[in-house]
Structure 1
Amino acid sequence: MPESDMPARPAHLWPRAKTYVRQAPGTYIWLAALFVTTVALHHMTPAFETTFLRRRSTNLHELSQNPVRVLVASAFWIDGSSWWPYAALYTLFHAPAEHRLGTPRWLAVVAASHILATLISEGALLWAIHHGHAPTSAVNTLDVGVSYALAGVAAVLTYLIPSPWRYAYLAAVLTVYGLPLLTGTGRTFTDLGHATAVLIGLCCRPLTRATAPVPLTPCRKPPPPQ
């Protein structure tokens, strides 16, 4: 390739990146909101941050008082985490799912995974408290973040990957989210929530039937010379 062509390569990446973002508006609007809230958290004192997040947490106390508010609010905060890993994860999982499913169906998977996994995991925690397997103070356990929705979307992507790669991908998803629940000595209700979200994502297969599998050919071959 002539050296004169080398500087042009980065210039071609920017339009593609913009197109990629525009085709997943829900993913990147959500990611922008998480950036703002993460910056806000970094300007809070540790004591105030804990109180602030607890009011937006889907813990048992808040769910019993303001279920709709905390189910929505908890999806816009990251508990003490860096924003950059989520930017990478959203680009790898949420954006491709939104591209293939369209924003309404992608959002349906997100909502189902986040809400149902939260309610099931918190229900299990409530059962544990009532039967003496968890302390009463656990009703105020902090539970914010976007990981349940991410797990559900990662699972539904299984149906958008052609065979035989989809089976290797599914095995990886089940290992990442299922192994802590099955073998971890310090299992928590969030481990149950992640595994539940994966199952919910897999149950969303009907939402994928109108879409084609994601092709694994990243670029087209150049036409033969005339």
Structure 2
Amino acid sequence: MTGSTTGVPQAHRTAWWARAARATWRYVRRAPGTYIWLAILLVTTEVIRHVDAATADRILHRRSTNLHHLQVSPVRVLATSALWIAGGGWLSYFALYNLFHVPAERWLGTLRWISVAMLAHVGATYLSEGLLGWAIHRGLAAPRAVYTLDYGVSYALAGVVGVLTYLIVRPWRYLYLAGVLAVYVVGVFQGRDYTGIGHLSAALIGLACYPLTRR
């Protein structure tokens, strides 16, 4: 009797873990691109955590989409800058990716989802850095600003946040849109830097991707 009573709970626990694993895999495989991206971000975040400050600075500067790198190696930095997290921890981005990227990838499909994310990433980078270049040319910013550190996944995220407007049914769509615009417009005035302009630009690019949402 002792073996029977202890074996049943063990069997139940094993079955529960098996069901949980299957459910998790079903959830993940419906948005493969999002979770591959998160896995890469986890690796790069751990790399930065385990190197000294000088090495981390060199790694991130090589992947910065600043004006200098956009002139000499634009493809390389535009691709690699989206593989590192700027500000916040990996867990916070895990939550944000599940909240925004996962539903967007499931809705649009992986190809159109990543197209929106990359259009926002590239477009907002060039818009914000182009404005910085104009400011440098006009003497409104220091010439050394061409080497400003600029990397991360937030522009791509803002673009996906924007395009998700079209997934929400009316009239809640307009409330969501008002909230998105309010967050990014306030960010421009609070930050008073070119990154805030980049985030707003990325959200607007996401909104402009409406044709990609039509099946």
TM-score (normalizing by structure 1): 0.85
Per-residue CA distance 1:115-146 (angstroms, 9 max, x = gap): 01001110000001111111111111100100
Q: Does 1:73 align with 2:80?
A: yes
Q: Which residue of 1 aligns with 2:195?
A: 190
Number of residue pairs matched by the alignment: 204
Find out whether 1:140 has 2:147 as its counterpart.
yes
Q: Check the 8 A contact 2:105/2:113 in 1, yes or no.
A: yes
- Cα shift at 1:208: 0.9
Shift of 1:47: 1.4
- State the 4+ residue runs in structure 1 displaced beyond 6 angstroms: 7-11
Matched, 1:33 2:40: yes
Q: Residue 123 of structure 2 aligns with which residue?
A: 116
Alignment RMSD (CA, Å): 1.9
Aligned to 1:83: 90
Which one-letter code corresponds to 1:141 in the other structure?
T
CA distance in 1 between partners of 2:17 and 2:180 (Å): 33
Q: Which amino acid aligns with 1:118?
A: T
Return closer, same or farther for 1:9/1:160 CA change in 2, 3 Å cut-off.
farther
Matches within 5 A, 1:1-226: 14-79=21-86, 81-181=88-188, 183-184=189-190, 186-210=191-215
Deviation at 1:13, TM superposition (A): 5.3
Identity of aligned residues (%): 57
8 Å Cα contact 2:165-2:177 kept in structure 1: yes
Structure 1: gaps of 5 or more residues? 1-6, 211-226
Q: Which runs of 5+ in 2 are unaligned?
A: 1-12
CA deviations on 1:157-192 (whole Å, 9 max, x unpaired) are: 0001111111111111111111122x33x4111111
Q: CA deviation at 1:63?
A: 1.0
**Could you tell me how far apart the structure 2 residues matched to 1:51 and 1:129 are?**
24
Confirm or deny: 8 A CA contact 2:86 2:153 kept in the other structure: no
Q: Distance in 2 between the 1:37 and 1:72 partners?
A: 14
For residue 208 of structure 2, what is the amino acid of its counterpart? C
CA distance in 1, matches of 2:20, 2:58: 43
For the Cα contact (< 8 Å) 2:64–2:77, is it kept in 1? yes
- In the superposition, the TM-score normalised over structure 2's length comes to 0.89
Change (3 A) 1:10 1:172: farther
Q: CA deviation at 1:26?
A: 0.5
